[in-house]
């Protein structure tokens, strides 16, 4: 079901030509700075992978992958990627990337089951990145240090945008605030997970919510996460589990918590087995990716995805992701957006 949030008295700060220029500036600047900050080299990524290999990311475990038969391979089916969480780790191994270095890529995907609206499109574009790490670095301190490095890149990008377009004023704080999802639940026990994010992010403006995927104190999950890439069960801090999380900004146009990145320390063999068992997915151990991880032929890593259109939408103060990227929208959404001064590309 599609949903359109209708901001009051919305007026774009940039026209179409300025917007296209802004998109170019942000994408070129951000990826080069992220590469330098985390020591990442750019690699070419696939648009699709073979079904049944376990390489595709199954997100929350319910989304259907777009797929098609390959004529020259006996109609074996390929799937358009949801993201490259597992593919990147295979690539780190196959490229022989050393500890402390990593890769990033332009990831393009189609997610047919997205609920279309201001923040979600059928088309997904991310900077997917992955960094080789040591066993000693599998801790919350290292996770936070990487988040801080990425946040520094966000701040530099925001400054570039404000210098290029003076009508757009910076709004991010100097530091990002960390909170565990269980601490967030205890802080706002009567709220839903999204309501908690909204309340906390409104106050702190830039937030990293730790520990997404496992059950909280009330037995409910803050949000879903696949069991075979992020580690959301290792006890990391204050008796709380989770070595992953989401970066959220307070969006001043839509006045809501705005996710720009999902990331985390990846599962080792122990966490993989534990999480697959918890989710009833032990059959995945027969798949190519999972076999290689269990055999110890994949490096330990940390990685994530950063939404390209999402980031441009935030920095250029747009009300709808369709002002940044070309996609398909319900006819009623086109009509409603036009009435709200929202020009969908």
CA 13 to each of CA 167, 229, 247: distance values in angstroms, whole numbers, following the listed order: 7, 39, 25
309 is catalytic: no
115 is catalytic: no
262 is catalytic: yes
The residue annotated as part of the active site, out of 35, 181, 261, 262, is 262
* Greatest Cα-to-Cα distance within the chain, rounded to the nearest angstrom: 57
The residue annotated as part of the active site, out of 31, 57, 121, 301, is 57
The residue annotated as part of the active site, out of 35, 83, 126, 275, is 126
57 is catalytic: yes
CB neighbours of 72 closer than 8 A, spacing ≥ 6?
A: none
The residue annotated as part of the active site, out of 79, 183, 246, 323, is 246
The residue annotated as part of the active site, out of 79, 130, 259, 323, is 259
Helix (H, G, I), strand (E, B) or coil at 343: coil
Question: What's the sign of the alpha-carbon dihedral 41, 128, 203, 170?
Answer: positive
Pairing of strands 256-265, 244-251: antiparallel
Phi and psi at residue 42, in whole multiples of 5°?
-80, 135
Crossing angle of helices 308-315 and 16-38, rounded to 10°: 120
126 is catalytic: yes
Pairing of strands 235-237, 206-210: unpaired
The residue annotated as part of the active site, out of 31, 35, 89, 111, is 111
111 is catalytic: yes
Please identify every residue annotated as catalytic.
57, 111, 126, 246, 259, 262
């Amino acid at each position: 079901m599609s949903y359109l949030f209708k901001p009051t008295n919305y007026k774009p700060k940039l026209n179409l030509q300025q917007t296209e220029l802004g998109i170019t500036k942000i994408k070129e600047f951000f990826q080069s700075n992220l590469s330098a900050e985390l020591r990442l080299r750019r690699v070419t990524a696939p648009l699709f992978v073979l079904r049944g290999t376990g390489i595709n990311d199954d997100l929350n475990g319910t989304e259907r992958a777009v797929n098609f038969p390959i004529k020259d391979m006996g109609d074996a089916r390929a799937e358009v990627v949801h993201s490259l969480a597992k593919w990147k780790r295979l690539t780190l191994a196959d490229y022989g990337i050393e500890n402390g270095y990593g890769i990033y890529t332009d990831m393009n995907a189609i997610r047919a089951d997205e609920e279309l609206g201001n923040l979600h499109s059928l088309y997904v574009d991310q900077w997917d990145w992955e960094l080789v790490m040591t066993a000693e670095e599998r801790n919350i301190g290292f996770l936070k240090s990487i988040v801080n490095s990425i946040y520094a890149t966000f701040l530099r990008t925001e400054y570039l945008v404000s210098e290029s377009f003076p009508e757009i004023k910076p709004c991010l704080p100097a530091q990002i605030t960390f909170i565990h999802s269980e601490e967030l639940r205890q802080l706002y026990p009567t709220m839903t997970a999204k309501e908690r994010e909204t309340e906390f992010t409104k106050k702190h403006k830039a937030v990293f919510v730790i520990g997404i995927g496992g059950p909280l104190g009330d037995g409910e999950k803050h949000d879903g996460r696949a069991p075979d890439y992020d580690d959301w069960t290792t006890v990391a801090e204050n008796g709380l589990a989770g070595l992953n999380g989401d970066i959220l900004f307070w969006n001043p146009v839509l006045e809501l918590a705005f996710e720009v990145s999902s990331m985390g320390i990846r599962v080792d063999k122990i966490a993989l087995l534990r999480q697959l068992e918890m989710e009833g997915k032990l059959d995945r151990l027969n798949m190519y990716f999972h076999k290689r991880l269990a055999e110890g032929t994949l490096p330990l890593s940390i990685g994530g995805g950063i939404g390209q259109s999402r980031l441009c939408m935030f920095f250029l103060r747009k009300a709808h992701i369709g002002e940044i990227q070309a996609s398909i929208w319900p006819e009623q959404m086109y009509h409603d957006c036009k009435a709200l001064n929202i020009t969908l590309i």
